[in-house]
Structure 1
């Protein structure tokens, strides 16, 4: 009886631990999103009419892109981790490759639709400015992570 009780508590604590880790990741992602919104808002100099139409399109695209890249691709990469490539059959490899190609196509179609929607509300110049600003933000974010990692060592 005592073992069952202890095991139940142990399982409960582990599940809370996983939930807490996911919660921390979600919090970090939300914080990064907030910084990104502030950065892009400043860089793009959107009018209020543009911003009203732009942000719902941008957020929907960003969420779907995140889902495709991080959830689907992570699944594929996990299958390839730890030298699993050498242990899978040719048929399994072909299936995995097909799944990766399918996700790449989904991303491409998503980007095409996104760009088409952006062209309806922003000038070509602002769309290019958006792409440059996103790259600048990503470089800035990576630099902060590197600096933080270097400070810890």
Structure 2
């Protein structure tokens, strides 16, 4: 598995753990989302015209990605718990694996469509900057999570 895929899985699991620690998932998600918007706005230096076109595309993508990762993957991860995994029949394991692969494919196609839509409203250099900024944001969020967890 590539390091990028491993990092994505780690970030996903960290994000999932971050959200699972509280009954106020929506509230925490909104705080993270606001922090992310602020961070990306600063990093990307979008013109008002670019911002007007960028944010609806980005928000639709981000919401759908969250839905896929949080709702579907959360269900899969529960089934992958050691106790549940050991009690799965081979047929159930095949079905679960197929569902995971299908969700991975949906995420890939979503990202591909997102990139295609971005190319219509942003120059390539800003799209690359977005990718770097998202990675930086995720590292910063993970660091905050670790720092907070270390204090408890």
Do they fold alike, i.e. is TM over 0.5? yes
* Corresponding residue of 1:17: none
* Corresponding residue of 1:26: 26
Trace 1:1-153 onto structure 2 (pairs within 5 A): 22=23, 24-152=24-152
Matched length: 131
Moved over 2 A (4+): none
**TM-score, structure 2 normalization:** 0.83
| Counterpart Cα distance in 2 of 1:105 and 1:144 | 30
Gaps of at least 5 residues in structure 1 are 1-20
CA RMSD of aligned residues (A): 1.0
Deviation of the 1:151 alpha carbon? 2.1
| Counterpart Cα distance in 2 of 1:82 and 1:96 | 15
Larger-gyration structure (1/2): 1
* Corresponding residue of 2:5: none
Deviation of the 1:56 alpha carbon? 0.3
**TM-score, structure 1 normalization:** 0.82
| Counterpart Cα distance in 2 of 1:106 and 1:121 | 23
* SS of equivalent residue, structure 1 residue 83: helix
| Counterpart Cα distance in 2 of 1:71 and 1:141 | 21
